Amino acid sequence: MSAILEVNNLKIYYYTPSGVVRAVDGVDFYLRRNESLCVVGESGSGKSTLAMGIAGLIDPPGRVVDGEARFKNELVVSKNSSNVQKYLGKQITLIFQDPRSALNPVVKIGDQITEAIMHNLNLDHERAYKIAYELLKKVEIPDPERVLNSYPHELSGGMAQRVVIATAVSTNPELIIADEPTSALDVTIQSQILKLLKHIVKSQGTSLIFITHDLSVALEICDRTIIMYAGKIVEEGDTKEIFEKPLHPYTTALLSSIPKIGFKTHKLPNIPGEPPQMTNPPKGCRFHPRCPFKFDLCDKLEPSLINVSNSRRVACLLFSSHR
Amino acid sequence: MGDPCVKIPGLVRELLRRRLGLIGVSIVVTISIISILAPLIAPYDPLEQRLEERLMPPSLQHLMGTDKLGRDVFSRVLYGGRISLFIALSSVGLAVLIGILIGLVSGYFGGWIDNLFMRITDIFLAFPSLILALAIAAMLKPGMLNVIMAISLSTWTQYARVARAITIQVKNEPYIEAIVSVGASGARILLGHIAPMVIPQVLIQAMINMGGAILTAAGLGFLGFGVPPPTPEWGLMVSEGRDIIQSHWWISTFPGLMIFLSVVGFNLIGDQLRDILDVRYR
Amino acid sequence: MTILNYVIRRIFYMLFVIWGIATIVFFITRILPGDPVGAILGPQAPQDVVDKIRREYGFDKPIYVQYIDFLTKIVRGDLGRSIATNRPVIYDIGERFPATFELATSALIIALIIGIPAGIVSALRKDKGIDHALRIVSLFGVSMPVFWLGLMLLLVFYYMLGLLPGPGRLDPYIKEPPRITGLLTIDSLLTGNIDAFFNALSHLILPAFVLGYLSSAYIARVTRASILETLRQDHVKFARSKGLPRNKILTRHIIKPSLIPIVTIIGLVYGWLLEGAVLTETIFGWPGLGSYLTRAMIYMDYDSIVGGVMVVALIYSVINLIVDILYVYIDPRIRYG
């Protein structure tokens, strides 16, 4: 198995005046080449922090407290070191949630793309400009010349995100980390962008980590999915399998809260209870206060991720021998 | 602009929670108390001239020395606090009043009234405020009331702006439409609903600007357009010692120091208030 | 709207504001209680002299006629005649303006050189030792009375230590360079008078520093706030994710977007420098616009006051105009918005 990214027991905490936020609290997973992995969770689950952590973009008061991340077997993120910078922009690139704020409002689009190309591929401005032009065509922007000469506020959300994607793809990276790239877009545009991203990723053979709060989006774009809750992974496996047969109660709840068109919906079921306080998460299994299947051990023992099959892992006491 | 609803008690609590806010409040409270208690603390009458003791350097009898007319500088500084703080407070108060009135009316009625007031505001804003205050004060006879008027006329515009912005924002809230449809009169809406939103915000703005008001008042006093002598006003006292500064440094130094300290206190508070409000609107 | 459109509208707006100021100034001087001529000449003056002066200055005409006269004169550039110097106000102001300009510009240069880097460093090293130190220095800067600081520095550096020269622009024994620009430093350089140059420069140091330090405090604070605001934006993270080098990120992605509020404050600061000039010129014996205005106000020299105030208002308005136009260049969102 050629894993392009391995994450072991990664812990990223934020030291705030109101307490220590254990945003990512011991996460392990791996990502293969050419594979698309989704990280799904509510806001506050730690999914964005995980993405930023792998990219080495965690700023104080947050820091990596324990664990490591390895890219192509090289240690890039750990408590004491951060080597990922040398890959950023070249083999590892990022796509952000709100394209309008990810782009510098006072610099032309063309310059923002070419600066990345010039720096990372060591080319002069003319060649970089030509490549930028081609890239914009590849992301299906109809008038690349005009867009290259525009400023970010002149573009629609969808166009802006295409520009961001073009930038992320410009150096033919091996790994793209996309942090909720469609959440800030209109629903109609969302699926267009998703399709585009999927197509690009598959055709270039790029590995993808895709962060989202929407399981149905995960189904569309990802081979494998990780479900995160309160800083921990609660379920992991093949996306279709998880969708058809969820194991963790949280996953089940997530799935049932997706409105399905064509089905009679009586009420939109909400997951009862509040998201956990990340400065003081619940003891034992962090989901237990909201879990319909909770039993007496759940608030005492923290479940670890165990292999239920060779492609599935769950962190729930229902599936362990403690039952 | 964010939520116009601001809770004053919570704000004060937050202010005191921060170290710098606490320091600022302590300084301001201390100076205020000293000023209020001046008649009890001051060892001498600030106007009393003892010509045989003139121009004496600081000593145990005269903590801050004596001035040209033998008046005790320390006592004058203490009483000066009352004068300077009173002027600053009143001028800010008056400016706030004018500003709120104009802002409320302008924002609520809109149309040509709004236009008119906004143009007037722009014209006032086209002046550095000290120069405007100076021009007004110079035209009027010297006196406490005139100084206060001069300063407030040069600073009301910012409060009008804030008041107007909030008025417009609140006016467009759906619940105001609801009240109007039930037949509430304009005055009632203005006073009962909009004013409570406007006043705290403007007061906070005023607090942030208190330091500047003290500096402007002192500046006017220094130039001779503030309260007339022999009233002890800090700015005036600095200018009184100006021409003999090289040999009698204490006459100008101490009053100026007091201006500096009080402004630091108010500015600390103002800075913290700004930080707190900033965080809220994120 | 196009840039040209915007500029034209802005200029008209400025003219309107200046008209408004002229009107307000006029009414302040004419409407307020007190007989101006009596105040100028004193109670001893014989009645016929008073009447003559009154006719000369047009105080005997009805208000609206005076107003029209006033406006037409201003448009022609005739700001009246100073009672104190008995010369046209325009002439007096023209003579004194370069001194203030030299002072204000030197102060602004100092303020920018100190203030902007201080603000940037403070923002980038937020909450560390250097940030706290710089913020305290800034706080002192905006809290100090300008006239007091000037006086204190004069006391220490001139009277006590004798390191820097005292009041005035030039020592009396130095030959003053011929008047080309009115700026002593430039003029002495242009005529090769090195002694005068260094002497003028040394006289400039204290007042320029006083004004410069105080304005740098404002600039540093605004710069810090603006940069912190920019750092919060995602585009900085995106730039980092592109693997760009630190200095590129700093200049293009941090500083450039932060420039807008900084440019505004520079406009405000220049206006403030005019105010500060009023307070410092008296202390440093600087024969500029500020001390002229102060003296005019003390002696109720009406035409001088009006002329001086109008000129100050004009300068301030022009600066604001320049700032607004600069805005359009710095912020592309305004250009097309």
Q: What is the mean pLDDT of residues C131-138?
A: 92
Listing DSSP states for C235-260 in one string gives HHHHHHHTT--HHHIIIIIIIHHHHH
From residue C48, alpha-carbon distances to A279, C44, C51, C81, C333 in Å are 88, 12, 5, 20, 65
The arithmetic mean of pLDDT across residues B183-194, rounded, is: 71
**Residue-level pLDDT at A162:** 92
* Per-residue model confidence (pLDDT) at position A266: 44
pLDDT on residue C121? 93
**C-alpha separations of B134 from B239, B256, C260 in Å:** 16, 20, 31
Mutate to test the interface with B, among C275, C289, C291, C323 (most CBs of B within 10 A): C275
Nearest CA in chain B to C294: B223
Q: How far apart are CA A8 and CA A10, in angstroms?
A: 5
Instruction: Please list, residue by residue across A190-218, b when 16 or more beta carbons sit within 10 angstroms of its beta carbon and e when fewer do.
Output: bebbbebbbebbeeeebbbbbbbbbbebb
Tell me if C237 and A102 make a contact (CB, 8 A cut-off): yes
What's the per-residue H, E or C state across C47-73?
Answer: HHHHHHHHHHCCCCCCHHHHHHHHHHH
pLDDT score recorded for residue A268: 45
> Where is average pLDDT lowest: A222-226, B137-141, C95-99, C208-212?
B137-141
For residue C189, the distance in angstroms to the closest alpha carbon of chain B comes to 33
Alpha carbon distances (Å) from B237 to A277, A317, B218: 59, 80, 9
Q: pLDDT for C274-318, tens place per residue?
A: 777 888 888 888 888 888 888 888 777 777 887 888 888 888 888
In this prediction, residue A265 carries a pLDDT of 45
Mean pLDDT of A59-63: 84
B205 pLDDT exceeds 60? yes
Q: Which chains touch A (3 or more CB pairs under 8 A)?
A: C
What are the respective helix, strand and coil percentages of chain B, to the nearest 5? Answer: 75, 0, 25
Q: Which of C242, C253, C336 sits opposite A154 (nearest CB)?
A: C336
Per-residue pLDDT at C1 exceeds 60: no
Chain C residue with the nearest C-alpha to that of B249: C155
Among residues C312, C207, C319, C311, the alpha carbon closest in space to that of C270 is found at C319
For B227-276, write each residue's pLDDT tens digit.
888 889 999 999 988 888 888 888 899 999 999 999 999 999 988 888 88
Is the pLDDT at C38 greater than 70, yes or no? no
pLDDT mean across residues, chain A = 85
pLDDT digits (tens, 9 = 90+) for C44-103: 667 777 677 666 666 667 777 777 877 887 777 777 777 677 778 888 888 888 888 889
- CB burial string B138-163: b at 16+ within 10 A, e below: bbbebebebbbbbbbbbbbbbbbbbb
The three-class DSSP label of residue A228 is strand
Average pLDDT, chain C: 82
Structure confidence at residue A294 as a pLDDT band (50, 70, 90): confident
**Poorest-confidence range of A50-59, A212-221, B131-140, B237-246?**
B131-140
- Residue A258, min C-alpha distance to chain C (Å): 29
pLDDT in tens, C163-176: 888 888 888 787 77
Query: Which residue, among C126, C227, C231, C242, would best test binding to A if mutated, counting the most A CBs under 10 Å from its CB?
Result: C242
pLDDT at position C337 over 50: no
Interchain proximity C332–A151, CB inside 8 Å:
yes
SS3 for A233? strand
Task: Provide the 8-state DSSP code for A92.
Answer: E
Cβ partners under 8 Å of residue C42, min gap 6:
none
**What's the rounded Cα separation, in Å, for the pair B167 and B12?**
24
The length of chain B in residues reads 282
Please state which of the ranges A78-87, A145-154, A199-208, C2-11 shows the lowest mean pLDDT.
C2-11
Identify the weakest region by mean pLDDT among A87-96, A201-210, A264-273, A295-304: A264-273
- Does A167 contact C242 at a Cβ distance shorter than 8 Å? yes
pLDDT band at A105 (very low <50, low <70, confident <90, very high): confident
Strands A306-307 and A74-78: unpaired
Mean pLDDT, residues B67-84: 89
Q: Which amino acid is at B130?
A: L
Whole-prediction pTM: 0.81
Across residues A173-179, what is the average pLDDT? 92
Compute and round to an integer the Cα radius of gyration of chain C.
24
A304 Cα to chain C: minimum distance (Å): 33
Arithmetic mean of pLDDT, B167-195: 76
Interface mutation target, options C14, C17, C122, C148, chain B, most CBs of B under 10 Å: C148
